[in-house]
Amino acid sequence: MKRVLSILLLFAAGLSFTACSLNDDGTNFKYVNLKVVSAEVPQSFELGQRYDIKVTYLSPNSCTYFEGFDIHKHEITEREIYPIGAELVDRDNCEESAAEVEVTLKFEVIYEDDYLFKFWTGQNADGEDEYLEVAVPVN
């Protein structure tokens, strides 16, 4: 009986060492900012309401996938908005693209002050960030 128990324990210990191995499938990616082409923002907001803001960005290639938004809060109601993509690297089959893609930013109005949205559109020749700015009053 002790011999069977010892064999089972050795077998279980062997499984625990192999079950934790990490397999690298070779998929590598980097996060990139996606350039905003346009944004559909309401003419005004109501305090306490939620809104869907349609944002259209430019997809640079077939290996970049939308991941979400990076939102930087400046002042109380000023927001810099960057669509973020995950770009697969080390791929030979990525096709250059200039496809426009529409996504939705869900936004809740929690302040009475007017909002200023600054949607990132890229960088100028001097490497400075540029934005599409939209001011929205709160009723």
How far apart are the C-alpha atoms of 16 and 5, rounded to whole Å?
A: 17
Provide the residue ranges of all domains of the chain, joining segments of one domain with +.
Answer: 28-136
Instruction: Give the separation between CA 13 and CA 33, rounded to whole angstroms.
Output: 46
Per-residue pLDDT of the chain (139 residues; tens, 9 = 90+): 555 445 545 555 555 544 455 555 666 899 999 999 999 999 999 999 999 999 999 999 999 999 999 999 999 999 999 999 999 987 778 888 879 999 999 999 999 999 999 999 999 999 999 999 999 999 9
What's the rounded Cα separation, in Å, for the pair 72 and 84? 13
Q: Give the sign of the dihedral formed by CA 97, CA 100, CA 103, CA 109.
A: positive
Determine if the pTM surpasses 0.95. Answer: no
Cα angle: 129, vertex 132, 133; to 5 degrees: 110
Would you give the DSSP letter of residue 126?
T
